[in-house]
Structure formats: C-alpha cells, structure tokens
Structure 1
C-alpha cells in the first residue's frame, strides 16, 4: 500500500457503533490510522493530541449535527487546514450547498461504497498536501524578506529569527539567540508580562502587547504582534517586533493620542486600500488560505479573490506576497 496512506491519521466523529465499524474497517484495510471520538469534548481532545490529517463526522453526532460540530471545532481547535468530511443519509442539494458554504470539504453518502470513499480521500489528501507545501513556501518568503523583525518560538524558546530581527537588535547571525526573557523586559508592567505569557501558553492568539521595552544598549521599545502559525510550523508562535519611534512612544504616554491613527491613515492613503482590503491583506500575511479567510470574514471565496486582485492592482504587485511586503514595509505591521 502507498506510504502516503500509512502516514495519514483520520479522526472519526461517529457515535454509532455499526457505522464506525464499517468505516473503520475500510480505512484500516487501506492502512489509514484511525482515532474515534463519540463526544464533542473527546473530539477536541483528539484534535489537540493527535492533529489528525482529516476528520470524518456522521451527520447526527451525539446531540449535534455535523455542521454544528464543525462550527464548534473550528472555533476551538481547527487552526490548521484539516479536511472535514460529512457522512449523510441522502443527497439533499440544499443541505449540501449549506455545508459547502460553511466550509465542509466533501461528503460521503450511505450506503458506504469503499471505492468512492477511497477516491475522495486520495483527492483531498493530494489537495491538502499541495496547499500545505504552498503555505510553507509563502511563509518562508514573507519571513525572510519582511522588513519587520520576526521570531518563531516554541513557548519561551526562540527557534529562529529573520534577518530584519538580527539587524534591528544588532545580533551576529553566527551566535545563538538568547531566550525571550533576555530580550523583552516586562519589569515595568506585570500586566504586559501576564498578557505575553498567556499568548505563549496558547490561551490567547493573534494578540498585541504594546510598548514593550527591549533589553540592550539601544533601549528600544516595540509593539509585539503574536500569532499562532500552526498552519505552517506545527505548534509554533510567530512574534512580530515593531520598533517604535520616539514620537509613537510619546503617544502611549498620552502626549499625542491621535498620532498613531493619523500616521497610519497617511500611510494607508498611499495605496488607497479599503478597510476590508487591509483586513484581507493582514490575514493573508499569516498565510491563511482563501477558504479560511472567507470563513473568518463571513464572505465568499470569490469575494476574497476579488479583493486580493484589487490589492495587487492598487499596490502594483505581481502577486499577493509582493503586495504584503510593500504594505508591510509602509505600515510597519500586518
């Protein structure tokens, strides 16, 4: 059997024993690894523990239908591009359309037909593997070329930094990076430290910690933008370090409350992007696929593609990566 199958783990959210037995038999025969969940909490735990490559959910899963289950899992644990397949009794065009609009990737119809199931899974895995490879490539390009300092961290340990961070901090690339505690000084604000620690522990994601003092001779202050990047690097966080000018630092002290917004408005006018286009550019900068951008903003994938096309036209960019880099440099943050 193909080695690809042996590496794939499928989570079955199936409470019916007979249905689970049939489906599990088919999958194990073809060397897929299988885990089962019979409750929502168990499904969440399995996703956190095993990071399945694909999830199959029966339409009536405990007290929830498959769509409700999908929404619950997406809000709590589905932070990566994991195909989600629903088992349905009959073909109902309205039900299928509603599922596709929610983000469901495919459907398995009863009675279970082995050949059809395997064909669908093979195509889904091929598509997902290509998407993940593209995401990794996209992230690497942005990480290396960004003018903003970036760190990839595993809790409080720095795994890697981009060239802009080395240049900003004056570190030699030949030397090992210090720990986060040796870079960020929270002695002035226990509240900042608590917020920072909650992000590192995964209790919050995509948060901002403002006006943090950086240890070193330069005495820089910075805004930290922390994002979960499990889409690209498993169980990792990305910290973007935006160095603040003296003018911006004063505004945090209350001397110029409007300086930040005015500066950003002036910069935004250079590209004449709408607020929605900036939202999409920000999310795209994290490598989020169009499908998930659409789900997060509550719009269609076609609308996302149209906005991205407008962004590239307004910034005179050949692709979205080039647009991200141009705007990234102008606005000093995503």
Structure 2
C-alpha cells in the first residue's frame, strides 16, 4: 500500500486561540501541522521536519513578523521553504516591505477557511511545478554542460558528465568506485582536502579551490563545490573550470612567477559561474548585505551616511551586474561573499 505524504505546516504562533483554530483547519483538510511558540524552536523544527510551508504571526513574543523572518532567513533560503505572514489587517506599506524582504504570501484576519487552504495549496502547487522544472533543467545542464561536473557521495564519485570524462581522460566510468584523487593531484593539497571535507560534513555550503592539477597532464582546473545533501549520505556537486591564466603560465614556462603567487594575487576572484559578481564594489557589497539583513533603503542611507537615492543607485547597479530583476534575487547571488 502506497502512503501519500501529507503536506507539513510549521505554525509559529503563541496565541492559543489562533493556534487551535488553524490547527483544526489544516488537520480537517488533510495537512500535518507542527506548532511552536518561539523562533529557536522554529529553527529546530525546520532542521528536524523540513516543513512544506511556514506560517507565522505578525507579532510574537515581542518580535515582529519581519524580524522573525530575518532570524529564520538562512534556514529559509537554504531549504527553500515558503514563508507566509499572518496580518491583522491589510497594510500596503507592510506588504510591500515584506515582499521586498522575501516573504512569499500573507494571510489576513478575520480568517476564512477556504481562502487559507486555497492560498496554501496554490503555494504548494507552485513549489511542485518549480521543483519538477528545476530537476529537468538540472539534468539537461549536467548532461550537456561544457563544464566538467561530478556528483560526489560519501567521498566517492557517483556520476560524471561527458565534459568531466574528456577532462580526466576517462574511457569507462563505474559509479561509486572512484575518488577525486584518482583523477586530480590531491596528495599534498591540504587546502583541497579540508575544503571538501568541510563541505561534505555540512560545515560549509560551498567551497572553492584554485589551481588543481589534472593527473598525468599539464592542465590545471579551478574547483567549485556545492553541498546538496548532508548527514549519513553526504553529497555534493563539483564543477571544474580550466584555470586559463595558470595553464598559460605553465605552458609558457614562466618559472619566475609561481602558481602560488598567482593564486594569492587572484584570491578575490568570484567562486561561482557568475564571475561578474566579483565586479561589485565594496560599497555595493555592503549595501546588499544590509538589504539581506532586512534594512530598508532609508535605514541603509542613515546607517552609511549617504542619501537614499545613492542607495537606490547602488542597488540598481548590483541587480544589473548580477543579471537579476529585483534585490531579493541579487541577495541570493551575493550574500555568501
């Protein structure tokens, strides 16, 4: 017999009457619901249960809903869980601010059961469609990308694409039988080993190491790894991009300028495919970081001693350079740097 998993709602609410009412609504409509009364319990439940939707009151134990979102932001962005805010009344300014922060939707009082369930089901439907589309896109990217990509699980290479085979000179590949050191010079590269282990163990979500030599060749590559699963079956995706400048130095025999010197000189290079992110100025990175923390344009201007128009101009430049259409998308590309 196939058991269908019920959608799980995480409700952050300290009002017992509201909790009881919403609990009854969701249980009746075949949802599971977990109720917590503070932010720290919410963080634990996000990790333990991986809820499908988070619903939070606009006021909780002295915190506003926006402050709670900021406290949960890292967990929410990492897991991609939609965040819905309960509001006592429609307020256009608060809604605009919430959408800019990244809040996905709003529920208004008084509650109407049909509207609440319809809104949550619409959110879940969009998530399902988005996940299916992302999986399809990823599989196409993995297979046809000109960039060498490998999937690592429990320190073994689970699968590779054609570009990886060409780079490593592989004729036949057997899943889960090889390690990275079978194809790359890693014996004396403690930076690479430590970075990989930190990422696989969940200490870092991403890592990058530059100037790794492909075995039995004069080719050097830059490695960029993203954690996709941690725990007992830890997994990560790794892409390898040829270090063009390093390879040129090696091929020209410029021994007077070592690879290590080159790497130090390029330590600020961006660690993602979007190399233009490295073109952001310190001020642009500063403003994007403050935006990620929930500060509004005027608050950022006051904090930095500049005009609101200047802040808007910097944010516009960030969106242009990162190829995004709004500040939330830009934050998702920049905040790790």
Structure 2 length normalisation: TM-score? 0.69
Residues 233-262 of structure 1: CA deviation (Å, up to 9, x unaligned) = x97422111233533566523269879999
Pair 256,47 (structure 1): closer, same or farther in 2 beyond 3 Å: closer
Structure 1 residue 97, shift from structure 2 partner: 1.3
- Correspondences of 1:1-334 after superposition (within 5 Å): 6-176=5-175, 177-214=177-214, 216-218=215-217, 220-229=219-228, 236-244=235-243, 246-247=247-248, 252-254=259-261, 275=276, 307=323
Between the two structures, name the one with larger relative contact order (CA 8 Å, sep ≥ 6).
1
CA distance in 2, matches of 1:18, 1:235: 42
Seen in structure 2, the aligned counterparts of structure 1 residues 63 and 224 have a Cα distance that, compared at 3 Å, is farther
Deviation of 1:305 (Å): 12
Provide the secondary structure at the position in 1 that maps to 2:84: strand
CA distance in 2, matches of 1:236, 1:256: 27
SS at match of 2:78: coil
Could you tell me how far apart the structure 2 residues matched to 1:259 and 1:17 are?
56
The answer as to whether partners of 2:277 and 2:322 remain within 8 angstroms in 1 is no
The DSSP-based 3-state class of the residue aligned with 1:34 is strand
- SS of 2:135's equivalent in the other structure is helix
Distance in 2 between residues matched to 1:75 and 1:85, nearest whole Å: 16
Residue 36 of structure 1: CA displacement?
2.7
C-alpha distance in structure 2 between counterparts of 1:191 and 1:260, whole Å: 14
Shift of 1:220: 4.6
Preserved contact between residue 251 and residue 259 of structure 1 (Cα < 8 Å)? no
CA contact (8 A) 2:85 2:103 kept: yes
Distance 1:174 1:209, change over 3 A: closer
Give how far 1:146 is off: 1.3
Following superposition, the deviation at residue 131 of structure 1 comes to 1.4
Q: Is the 8 A contact 2:181 2:187 kept in 1?
A: no
1:30 deviates by 0.9
Provide, for residues 239-290 of structure 1, a one-character-per-residue CA deviation record: whole Å limited to 9, x for no partner: 111233533566523269879999x9xxxxxxxx9946988xxxxxxxxxxx
- Report how many residues are paired: 276
Per-residue CA deviation, residues 138-181 of structure 1 (Å, 9 max, x unaligned), is: 22222212111111233523332111112211223452351345
What's the offset of the Cα at 1:199? 1.7
8 Å CA contact 2:157, 2:180 repeated in 1: yes
Contact (CA 8 Å) 1:13, 1:55: kept in 2 or not? Answer: yes
Q: Is the 8 A contact 2:219 2:247 kept in 1?
A: no
> What secondary structure does 2:121 align onto?
helix
**Is this contact kept in 2: 1:277–1:308, CA < 8 A?**
no
- Name which of structure 1's ranges 35-44 and 240-249 shifts more when overlaid on structure 2: 240-249
Residues 186-241 of structure 1, C-alpha deviation per residue, up to 9 Å, x if partnerless? 33232332222112222122331122344x433654221012447xxx97422111
TM-score normalised by the chain length of structure 1: 0.69
Cα deviation, residue 71, structure 1 = 1.9
Secondary structure of residue in 2 paired with 1:78: helix
Looking at structure 1, the residues matched to 69 and 33 of structure 2 have their Cα atoms a distance apart, in angstroms, of 19
Q: Over the residues paired in the alignment, what is the CA RMSD in angstroms?
A: 3.7
